[in-house]
Amino acid sequence: MTKEIKEKIHIAKSGARLYTTNPYFSLRALADAADIEIDTIYKYFTNRRSILEFYYESIMIEYQESTQNIEGYLDFTLSEKLSNLALTLIDLMAEYKEFVRQTYKPFVVCNSRNQAFNQAFKVQLKIIYENDPHQSRLSTVFHTDLLYKAGLTNFHLLIRFWLNDESPANQKTMELVDKWTSFVQEVHYTAVIDKGFEFAKYIFYNSPLNPYGATSKNNSDE
């Protein structure tokens, strides 16, 4: 992580912390809270909103950074990688839960001007799905933007669930993530559709009712 990125993250987090006490804080107050010069803030951001929006981008950067350091991450299953994405983001947001409660919807879910977090999330989903070698052949057909959009929507719903989760150490959220990702994995790993497709193909080409079939017979005649 570069010095500039670290500085930007520091400013965004200080802003998120300040927001919960005063949503209309001045940049001077932020500079004081973050213990930096106000010019440093202007170097990276144009206004208060851009700082707060960057908070969500920053947790995605931190997720990428931390995932690189996980021993044996490449051996993780699809379910574990998806769980890691969801839970790491939630764990990073946990320190700023009140800020997330107040801003997640306007800054992330319903923000048509800045889609940086949503885009980054979908990119991460794409990386996870496209690099998992255990999926069935047919499931790879569904690796489209629709799948990643659905994943993002699920994540938004998960955040809503987590914000209302009062179980000790967010155990209910953990269980939900686990059940959700396990289901997704089961769908993507199952060979039933592959086998069914092969079976149907065989029947199609070898059925006596198929006018174009009996290829094996023709082949053997040759």
Partner 1 sequence: MQPLKTILMSDFPSSKYDRGKIFAKTGIKVGANYARHYLKTILGSTNKQNSAFYNQTAQEIFSEFTKLRGTALKIAQSLSIDQGFLPDEFSEVMTQAQYSVPPINRALVRSIIKQELGKFPEQLFDSFDANAVAAASIGQVHKAILKDGRKVAVKIQYPGVRDTITSDLGLAKTLFKRFVKNKAELENYFDEIETTLRLETDYIHEGRTIDRFYSRLADPQIDIPKWIEDYSTERVLTMTYLEGEHLKEFLARDPSQVEKNRYGQLLWDFFHEQILQFDEIHADTHPGNFLMTTDNKLGVIDFGCVKKFPNDFFRDYLLLLPTHLNRDIKEIIDLYKRLDVLKSNPEDDPVERKYFEFCINYGYTFAMPYESNSFDFGDPEYKELIRGYTRNAPLGNEIRGNKHFIYSTRVHLGLYHFLMKLGAEINTSKSREIVATAIKEFDFISISIKKSPGNYPGFDD
In whole angstroms, how close is the CB of 120 to partner 1 at the nearest point?
19
Q: Binding residue for partner 1 (CB under 8 A) from 10, 27, 38, 80?
A: 80
* Residue 32 sits in the site that holds partner 1 (CB under 8 A): no
208 touching partner 1, by CB under 8 A: no
Q: Which helix (H) or strand (E) holds 174?
A: helix 171-189
Give residue 132's Cα distance to chain centre.
15
The residue (of 191 and 200) whose beta carbon lies closer to partner 1 is: 191
Least separation, in Å, of the C-beta of 141 and partner 1? 19
Distances (CA, A) of 176 to 3, 95, 97: 37, 20, 18
* Contact between 74 and partner 1 per CB under 8 A: no
**Binding of partner 1 by 71 (CB under 8 A):** yes
| Alpha-carbon distances, residue 181 vs 36, 54, 165, 186 (angstroms) | 41, 27, 18, 8
CB 101 within 8 A of CB 18: no
Q: Which of residues 161-190 bind partner 1 (CB under 8 A)?
A: 169-171, 174-175, 177-179, 181-183, 185, 189
**Cα–Cα nearest to 52, from 104, 119, 89, 118:** 104
Quote the longest CA-to-CA distance of the chain: 87
- Pick the binder of partner 1 from 1, 70, 141, 203 (CB under 8 A): 70
Residue window 108-147: x/- pattern of binding to partner 1, with contact defined by CB under 8 A: --------------------------x-------------
Query: Nearest distance from residue 72's CB to partner 1, in Å?
Result: 5
203: number of Cβ within 10 Å: 12
Residue from 83, 48, 49 nearest 67 by CA: 83
Q: Which residues bind partner 1 (CB under 8 A)?
A: 66, 69-72, 76-77, 79-81, 83-84, 87-88, 90-91, 94, 134, 169-171, 174-175, 177-179, 181-183, 185, 189
